[in-house]
Amino acid sequence: MPRGLVVDWGGVLTSDIRGSVGRWADRHGVDLKAYGRVMSQWLSPDGELEAMVNPVHALERGEIEVPQFEEILATELTRHTGSHHDAHKLLKSMFEEFEHAHDMNALVRRARQHGIRTALLSNSWGDFYPRDLWEGMFDVVVISGEVGMRKPEPGIFALTLDQLDLPAHECVFIDDLAHNVEAAAGLGFIGVRHDNYDDTLRELEAIFDMDLT
């Protein structure tokens, strides 16, 4: 029987990423299609980009700071659109559009109350986390930029398991991104792709064989 639950933050414990970024683009006059093109280039399956370090990967590993990433992103948006984009607080304004998913956060708390060990495993784009809401929620918190590794790298999963003191096959991993779920499953986790609260609740109740409502 599984004894651990490892969850992502953005898109799992918050509103979905696509909707949140869409609201940010509308509110701040960012060309969403241009942003999508930039992200598609940086997040391509090829990993590191030719002749440059992937800015997203570098930010998530803590190799560059938020202001440097904002400058790179603003420059790319300007290049793609021909219109000036201000780098100042670009990410802060984005994460202000991420809404707290009360139902999913409560589900994690209920799981912990049932004796399941819980961990947060998040790829960070700066420290915009609502840490004040996590008291009593997690046994372990692993933030990529603080440990120099990022999902889906095996090392960050291994670190999380070590801190939980559990083997992979006794842990469920929840993420909204398929490639992270697939990576975790390849390491022995029970992978759950999060799309909505109701489906995730049903999957967890079946896996843990307990009522989590």
Q: What is the pLDDT of residues 124-140, one digit of tens each?
A: 999 999 999 999 999 99
**CB-CB contact of 190 with 180 (8 Å):** no
Mean pLDDT value of segment 117-125: 98
pTM: 0.93
The three-point CA angle 89-143-139 to 5° equals 130
- Pick the range with the lowest mean pLDDT from 50-54, 87-91, 101-105, 165-169: 50-54
Provide the pLDDT for residue 26.
95
26, burial (CB in 10 Å: exposed 0-12, middle 13-18, buried 19+): exposed
Q: What is the pLDDT of residues 13-63, one digit of tens each?
A: 999 999 999 999 999 999 999 999 999 888 866 544 554 578 999 999 999
Provide the pLDDT for residue 41.
86
Provide the pLDDT for residue 145.
97
Mean pLDDT value of segment 185-201: 98
**CB-CB contact of 8 with 175 (8 Å):** yes
Provide the pLDDT for residue 5.
98
Identify the three-state secondary structure at position 43.
coil
Q: Domain 4-16+100-208 classified CATH 3.40.50.1000? A: yes
Q: Which two tokens stand for residue 69?
A: 């990433």
Complete DSSP assignment for 116-151: -EEEEEE--SSS---GGG-TTT-SEEEEHHHHT--T
Strand partners, 173: 6, 191
pLDDT-based confidence at 1, cuts 50/70/90? confident
Which CATH code is given to the segment(s) 17-95?
Answer: 1.10.150
pLDDT-based confidence at 187, cuts 50/70/90? very high
pLDDT averaged over the chain? 94
Torsion sign across C-alpha atoms 135, 147, 48, 92: positive
Report domain extents, the chain.
Answer: 4-16+100-208, 17-95
Identify the three-state secondary structure at position 96.
coil
Provide the pLDDT for residue 51.
46
**CB-CB contact of 162 with 151 (8 Å):** no
Share of the chain above pLDDT 90, in %: 89
